[in-house]
Amino acid sequence: MLRSAKLFSNLKRPVPRRRAICTICGGILLLGAGGSAARGQTLSEPLTDGGPDAAGIGIVRAITGTGGLGQADPLPVMQTGMDIFTGDRARTDAESRAHLGFGSATEVFLGANSEVIIDAFVAQSGGVIYLDGSLLFDRADDSTDPEAEVLTTYGRIGVRGTRFFVAKDDTGLAVFVERGAVMVTGRDDAATIVALEAGQGTLVPEPGAPPTPASRWSEERIAAITRAVLGDDLR
């Protein structure tokens, strides 16, 4: 989990604030994005924050194992029912998974040993999710939630109404689309854009490298990435 702090080291985090969470205190690492962020923001740009009175933009729907959520250091313990605010970080530990809900139809499932920051999640504007690890992004095709983009040290994933997996291992960063479509771009090779449709996947072998051409995945490979992200408990 961000052992080198490479992904988020340049982000200016908002000042931690108290949160109103119905009877629970806890921690997870993530949040939503705003305006032009999904189209032009880089990892060196600061996070935005609605201030101490800003409303929550999401909720922890479920957690198995242990994790953290918030802006304090160390992170508060994540628990089911916690509100998520702009600028929060969400983290899962080994053998842990988390299910996070945003907006009207957006669900994010965080795999084990993963961390995210969701820069903002404002109606009628874009969302940026900074990811180190693995996740499942699930959004209804007819959703009115804002467009989103997942940023990693490996590259960018442009999101609309879709369901797709991202998983990192020794071979690189794998992206598989179960429903809808996404665009995958290596961070250091913006000219190489791979469009994925339902049933297709790609691999970014190392940070900044171009993604491999789109290919149709076998049932075995799909099952492997599903298990890697969701485990046996969160579906």
- Residue range 17-67, pLDDT digits in tens: 333 332 222 222 222 222 222 223 333 333 344 444 456 889 999 999 999
Is there a domain that residue 121 lies in? yes
Is there a domain that residue 8 lies in? no
Full residue range of the structural domain in which residue 144 is found: 37-230
pLDDT for residue 28 = 22
Is there a domain that residue 26 lies in? no
Predicted confidence (pLDDT) at residue 75 exceeds the cutoff of 90: yes
Is there a domain that residue 176 lies in? yes
Q: Output 137 or 170, whichever has higher pLDDT.
A: 137
**Mean predicted confidence (pLDDT) in 132-148:** 84
pLDDT for residue 149 = 87
- Residue range 111-139, pLDDT digits in tens: 999 999 987 665 445 678 899 999 999 98
Q: How many residues does the chain have?
A: 235
Residue among 145, 179, 185 at smallest CA distance from 164: 179
Q: What percent of the chain has pLDDT over 90?
A: 50
pLDDT for residue 118 = 80
**Mean predicted confidence (pLDDT) in 82-87:** 91
Predicted confidence (pLDDT) at residue 206 exceeds the cutoff of 80: yes
CATH number of the domain at 111, please: 2.60.120.1440
Is there a domain that residue 120 lies in? yes
Give 141's pLDDT tier (boundaries 50, 70, 90): confident
Is there a domain that residue 155 lies in? yes
Is there a domain that residue 163 lies in? yes
pLDDT for residue 2 = 41
Predicted confidence (pLDDT) at residue 153 exceeds the cutoff of 60: yes
Total domains in the chain come to 1
- Residue range 178-200, pLDDT digits in tens: 999 999 998 765 668 999 999 99
Is there a domain that residue 18 lies in? no
